[in-house]
Amino acid sequence: MSNTALSTWLEKDTMASTASRGVISGVLGGLAGTIVKAAIERVLPVRNPDTTSAQLKLVDGISEKLTGEPISASNRDLAEQLVNIPIGVSLGASLGYAKKDRPETNLVEGALFGTTAYLATHETSLPLMGLEEAPKDIPVKLQANEFLAHVAFGVTAELVRGWVARRLDD
């Protein structure tokens, strides 16, 4: 699709073009949020040093089924991000779609979005799947760091989503 055709399609005032602009802005917001979350997690520990992340447990499981071997030590950081990025982008896309008719930025909604992501993963689904310890078994400081990283993810996703949405609406 040429730049002109893409521009024309995005300018149309239809449900599809509005939804597309919302999803595009959300995807970019989710990507930016994921980058910020990863940066925070490099500074603030979110798990004990001897604990394997849920992302690596997933990737190791897949790798062992396909190759018979876990991910090599040199590829562990990359493998972890290969899980984080699609999840963050997908969450951002859902945020963008949900706010497709509201390009204005709302930081409280961004913080709530990050909080919801944290609660849906680290407080419920990951422990239930056996990929992470139960919240009662994780030190409060590590939980607080993880929570802060998720709130920063949500706020960043919302800031970027709003900025991109306004640019696409112009």
Cα distance between residue 20 and residue 100, in whole Å: 8
**Domain locations in the chain as residue ranges:** 16-169
76-100 pLDDT, tens digit each: 888 988 899 999 999 999 999 999 9
Burial (0-12, 13-18, 19+ Cβ within 10 Å), 13: exposed
The owner of tokens 């969450």 is 91
pTM of this structure: 0.88
56-82 pLDDT, tens digit each: 999 999 999 999 999 998 998 889 888
What does the block give as tokens for 39? 């940066």
Cβ–Cβ under 8 Å, residues 160 and 27: no
